[in-house]
Amino acid sequence: MRFILFVIHWALVGLGVAALLVILWSALSGGLANWSGPRVELPRRGYATAVARAAPAVVSVRTLSRRAAGGNALTEDPLFRRFFDDGAAMVRRETSLGSGVLLDASGVIVTNYHVIADADSIHVSLRDGRQADARIVGTDPETDLAVLKIELDDLPMVVLGDSDALRVGDIVLAMGYPLGIGQTVTQGIVSATGRNRVGINTFESFIQTDAAINFGNSGGALVDSRGALVGINAARIDSEGIGFAIPTALALDVARQILEQGSVQRGWLGLDARDLNDAQRAESGIGAGILVLGVLAEGPADRAGVLPGDVITHIGDEPIGDSRTAIDRITSLTPGSRVAVTLLRAGRAVATEAVVSRRPLPR
């Protein structure tokens, strides 16, 4: 009997403990499921808002070109060619990937010239999945810019920023469609502004950045921390952390001229010049200027009486320190206008006036 009572006692104890555990588990699980706890809105860090503002206006640009296939010993062999149409040219299809930026809701896109150069067809894809064929409105190879147009409704447009206000150290985001993997964003800082003599374009005033600009990013957007467009991605050097973008101040001026006039019009004087070296500066007694090496016959400079060997010190009221300054000054002049040219000839100051012509298009 005592044994039976012992068993009954501990059985009841076990059942009580089990019941208690079930009650506690139920209370805890229900409470955890319904418990939300205090919520605190922490400030978000990052550039998601900037990306969301700019991303819809950044597009993928895909081109198709047809090239005559190079011959080889097999295809040129008469025994081989007898099985094919002798009159049919062998053609190779080439595709290229790049990016572009929608400037307005009418479908105007700015991209790099090298992205669409020699393209037979151009296809644009938007972030929202829509696609359209694009036509070329105009190009400017000397700044590596091109303007395209697509016909779609309700198009997004980029917010324009002020590239002239950029400072070294400012945060920038490079957006585009590199390597065919979809739209991507990379982040960096402005490493330099006004970079020239890089050897990429004729006219250069690059924004240098360490934001990654990979193959296919060309023509995409460089935006500031607010998502406003400050540059068009252009190129990178085969070195980590050195990429270049064309500032919006230049890109928008080129786009405007193309849209209004069909091409970019730049001034031209028809002369070849180079910077003075130290010995020539010492000999001439001037601190700055450019040495005229040659003058095109019947060109503006020739008609103005400029001679090889002259040292140009001023174009208009602007002093000319080097050949880059001279090019920028001359090309900014309006074709058909007149400009004063001040030069030194055999140590004597000479003043003349030239009628500016239009800079010939590159061949």
Would you name the residues annotated as active-site residues? 114, 144, 218
Look at residues 96, 53, 49 and name the one whose alpha carbon lies nearest to residue 217. 96
pLDDT of residue 68: 66
Residue 194 has pLDDT above 80, yes or no: yes
Render the burial of 84-110: b for 16+ CB within 10 Å, e for the rest: eeeeeeeeeeeebbbbbbbbeeebbbb
Q: Write down the mean pLDDT value for the chain.
A: 84
pLDDT of residue 275: 85
Average pLDDT of 157-169? 95
pLDDT of residue 282: 73
Look at residues 355, 357, 249 and name the one whose alpha carbon lies nearest to residue 304. 355
Question: How is the chain split into domains, by residue range?
Answer: 49-149, 163-261, 267-358
Average pLDDT of 8-36? 58
Structure tokens at 193: 């502004």
Instruction: Tell me the per-residue pLDDT of 328-358, one tens digit each, with 9 for 90 and over.
Output: 889 989 999 999 999 988 888 899 999 999 9
Answer yes or no: same fold for 49-149 and 163-261. yes
Residue bearing tokens 């930026």: 101
Average pLDDT of 311-337? 89
Give the pLDDT band (50/70/90) at residue 33.
very low
Tell me the fold of 49-149: Thrombin, subunit H (2.40.10)
Residue pair 229/255 in contact (Cβ under 8 Å)? The answer is: no
Average pLDDT of 173-185? 91
CATH of domain 267-358: 2.30.42.10
Tell me the fold of 163-261: Thrombin, subunit H (2.40.10)
DSSP state of 147: E
DSSP bridge partners of 292: 273
Instruction: Tell me the per-residue pLDDT of 129-152, one tens digit each, with 9 for 90 and over.
Output: 999 999 999 999 999 999 999 999
Give the pLDDT band (50/70/90) at residue 296.
very high
Which residues have a Cβ under 8 Å from the Cβ of 331 and sit 6 or more positions away?
A: 203, 266, 267, 268, 359
